[in-house]
Every structure is written in structure tokens, then in C-alpha cells.
Structure 1
């Protein structure tokens, strides 16, 4: 396992991290899975107050409470559940973020969060107020670093310009190369790390039947999956190749892999022991399809 500094912060993260969103409600089973991941060297565990109405944070906190100093806990804020539970509303205000942080600290059974992330964002938000909330929490020692989870270049540029974010979580894979157009270079220039989610492109780069994805047709998706399999050959797996493609970007500090089962954890651990893709094989992957681009929020 390799470890990277998260932006300019003091937070160190494993280059493969555990996306906790899909964990079930069995605390014992979740703890076994999370502990096995930690024993294998995975140290970054990502959740959100939105997931399962806070129960996801609770199960992660319960499992990792006794090993808190060994892990980097990341969670997210901004989506406020309605009192009747019928859905959630976007709320990036300072007052809400400060209160939500207290609730997340309680559910996670910790007195600090390693990475606190805004779970979305638009240009219509009170961005200065949002940043003030994160800076206040950092001054209070309740968070070590903060970032945003966004795929919107216009929003990302605003936070790069105005804030001290350590990271941006964004979708990035062989089937979603939109961040290459402007975001990756901008973030690398400002020493802001990327946490890449969606490395498998919903499993389409692995074994799921091809279907249209973003701007790609089913035939193009099939072609990309075949190229990944070709590059993997007999010495690697498609999962390892898909993740290594993402990690070859210097700005990517960690690939966040959604894990719910033992097999998914096995795949993540295997990816952590990845071989380095030779330049020739990386070029084969890049030539599989023309890179796509963002059509909105540019």
C-alpha cells in the first residue's frame, strides 16, 4: 500500500480508500469488513451524513472507534434530511454546517474529523459563508482538513480561488475523463489532491454488460472494457488496471472504491498491490476512446 499527503494538509491517506456508502446495517459484519481493510493497509474511510440518514456514519464510528488513531475519517455535509424523512434539501449555510459537524462527530464517536467535505455545491451558494464554517471548524480542532465533492469545474474554480481546500472528490475513470480537460491540471498546480470515485465506471470496465454511459454508446463502452481486459492480460485483473489508470494521475491521492462485500474488498486490496502501468499500456488505454468533456457547469 502506498500513502500520500492530502493536498497541503497534514492528513496522510492510503492510495486505495474504502467508500462506505453501500455498507448495510449489520454492525458486526461491517466491523469485520472495515477491520480487515485496515489490517490490509487501507486507512481512508469515506462516509457522509446523508448515507442511510446518518446510520452509515454510526456503523463506521462504532467499528473504528477503538482504532481511531490508525485511520483517516472523511465525511460530508450539505444535504439536510427533512423532518418527515421524505427526502433532503441542499443547505450549505454556515449555521447548518457547524451544527451538522457536531452531529457527525457524535455519530462517528470521535472528537475530530480528518477530512470534512461539502457534499455538492453550486455557484448560487453562499460560498464565502460556507468557507467560513469550514475554517471555524478547523480553528476549533474539530476537523483537520476540508474539501469539496464536486464534478462542476465552475464551482471547483471558485473554491480553488477562495478557500484552503485540501481535496476535491470527483468522478474519474477511463470512461469519464472529463476532469482531464481543466480540473486535474488546475488542482495539481495549486497542490490540491483529488479523491477519485467511480474508477470502475459502475462496473462497466469490469464484467457488467455494456450500456450507454455518459456520452459513450454501448459499443464504445464495450470497446473500452475489452481494451482494459487486453491490458490486464494474464498477470493483472481488469479491476487493477482500471484503478491504476486513475492513480497514474499525479494529483490523485486516492481511489475511493465502494465496498460492501468480501469480494469487493478482495478486489480493492488487490488493486492496492497494483503494478505500475508501463507508458505503452497507458497509451493503449488512452487511445481506446476519445476523451469526453463536461457539457454543463464549465
Structure 2
């Protein structure tokens, strides 16, 4: 597995997103034994970047990762997130990046992950009630104390990124970026390159859509969040199937799978990008990790760059308002 730098943090250029093992997606929490095997297989394949958050579950995903890396902690870069649970308001699901909540959150994450430090600690979403300077200053104190090693932001807008980076170096920005979500290309990706910040695309496979495996929402459990996602509903879904078919066509040309093509396209965009495809299956982590060796031709990249544009927002309206602040 090739490696890149997220700021000053060395990581495998393909990571593993663990959220779906415990929350949000069809089958979440149904087979922890397979999830544990998946994490350990990822480590065997050279994946070092593991991504979770206290809100996944909540809390159960961090506990799962803690079990998975026990005895192998030195092999991994553990990334987790705070800020979508307010520990000052009884654990309410609300934005809270106040210094007091951060102090409580980090101790909980350290305990659940079974470690004495977090390698990359992200603000999950920008808190409009706490100036970003106060949040980053509190995180800088945790760096000085050795409880976290690097600071990250998630889904933040350009102005917030600049203000945060002025207080303390930001190692990584995590935002949705894929063949069907190109928003970061206009401002955010160039800004991270200007400031020396790594970029971690979440949902690099379009929440599974780009794999071509989802042809009907009947395949999804009723509690799967995609059931209400604008891109997975009604006419938008039927239109967006064209995108999956176009990726499949390039995959057939290249002798790869659609997932591998989608990841290879991202990896070719910059040498500071480390996508974190999520899965809870060993077979999928093997497939995704193999994208590290895929090289697309200029013609194939051109086809992917000009795919049919997706219809529908990437999230429901309430969640969209939290992105790009």
C-alpha cells in the first residue's frame, strides 16, 4: 500500500471508514465478528487509516474499533470525531464544539478506543455557537498534553478552514468527494493544497451507489438512511443509475471493479488525498484496497470526469445546512 501525508501525518492512501459497521446502513451491527475480521484484514493489507466517531452508534463504533486494534495499536492511525453530541446537555444529539464538551468527549473516545492517544481528532461539523478559534485552541491544548496528535475538520467551508489553520496547523479536512459529488473541486481542494492540509474523502463510493450493486431501494433496510436520501429516491434514483452504468463501462475496459475505478479516479486527483471507503465485509476491503494498484488511462479519466451529473442533494435539507460552514 502506498502512503501519503495528511499534513505531517503518514497514512496509507486508502483508509477504512467504520461507520457502517455500527450505524446508518443496512445490516449495521448485525455481525460484529465479520466487522472485526474486516478491520484486521485491512491491517494485513497495509491499510493504516481507520475512521470512526463518537456519534456512530452512538459510541458503539469506537468500542468496536478498540476491540479490533487491540494488540496492533502501533500499526494504525486512529481517527475519530467529536462535536455532534453535547456532553454538557445530557448527551443530546446537537452541535457542541465548546472547550468543555471537547474535554469530556476526548476522554470518552480514548476509553472506548482503548488507547492513550488519538492520532487524528476531527471536529465533526462546525458549531455556529462556538468560534472556531476557541475550538482549535482547546484542541491545541490536547495536542500539547499528548492526548491527540493531529487536528482535523470535517465538511468545513473555506473561511473556517483558514481561521482554524491560523490558530494551529490542521492536518486533514474530511469532506464528501466522489465521482458524483464534485463540490470540493471549486474551492476547498485547492485551499487544502495551498495550506498543506491533507484531504480525506468520505463516501468515495457514493454511499455504495457507484459500485453498481444497488439497483433498487428495496435492497435497503427500512432504517437505512439512504431510504430518504434525495439521490436514492424517485426519479433522481432512476436518473442516477446511468452514472453507475457509466462507471461500470469504464471498469469493464480497465479490468477492474466499479469501486476500484471510483477510488483510482480519486487517488489520481492529488497526492494528498486518502479516501476512506466504508465496508463491514472482508471481501469488500480486499477489493477496495486493491485500487491502490489501479492506473487509469487519460481516456478513461476523461470519461469519468464527464459522467452524467447526479440529481438530488447529497443529504436531506437539515444535514445540508451543516456542510460548508
Q: Settle same-fold status: TM greater than 0.5.
A: yes
The structure that is strand-richer by fraction is 1
2:5 match: 5
* CA distance, structure 1, for counterparts of residue 53 and residue 251 of structure 2: 33
Equivalent-residue separation in structure 1 for 2:280 and 2:204 (angstroms): 16
Q: Alpha-carbon deviations, 1:71-120, whole Å to 9, x = none?
A: 11001111226799885121101111122111211111111111011011
The answer to whether 1:46 aligns with 2:66 is: no
**Which stretches in structure 1 are left out of the alignment for 5+ residues?**
none
Kindly indicate whether the alpha-carbon contact (under 8 Å) linking 1:17 and 1:42 is maintained by their aligned counterparts in 2: yes
**CA distance in 1: counterparts of 2:64 and 2:127, whole angstroms:** 30
Indicate the SS of the match to 1:147: strand
TM-superposed CA distance for 1:244, in Å, is 1.1
Q: Any idea what the Cα deviations from partners look like across 1:236-262, whole Å, max 9, x if unmatched?
A: 111111111111121543111111123
Using the TM superposition, name which of 35-44 and 262-271 deviates more.
262-271
| Alpha-carbon distance in 2 for matches of 1:270, 1:247 | 12
- In structure 2, do the counterparts of structure 1 residues 39 and 213 end up closer, same or farther at CA, with 3 Å as the change threshold? same
Q: Does 1:257 align with 2:277?
A: yes
1:23 is matched with: 21
Query: Which residue of structure 2 aligns with residue 195 of structure 1?
Result: 200
Change beyond 3 A, Cα 1:187–1:210: farther
Q: Which residue pairs with 1:267 in the alignment?
A: 287
Other-structure match for 1:156:
161
Is 1:185 aligned to 2:190, yes or no? yes
C-alpha separation between the residues in 2 aligned to 1:13 and 1:80?
27
3-state DSSP of counterpart to 1:256: coil
Q: What is the RMSD computed on CA atoms of the aligned residues?
A: 2.8
Write the distance in 1 (CA, Å) between the matches of 2:32 and 2:216.
Answer: 35
In the superposition, the TM-score normalised over structure 1's length comes to: 0.88
Q: CA deviation at 1:126?
A: 2.1
TM-score, length basis structure 2: 0.81
- Structure 1 CA distance for aligned equivalents of residues 267 and 133 of structure 2: 32
Looking at structure 2, the residues matched to 217 and 57 of structure 1 have their Cα atoms a distance apart, in angstroms, of: 34
Corresponding residue pairs, total: 294
For 1:22 and 1:199, locate their aligned partners in 2 and report how far apart those are by CA, in whole Å: 14
Instruction: Assess, with a 3 A threshold, how the Cα gap between structure 1 residues 203 and 230 changes in structure 2: closer, same or farther.
Output: same
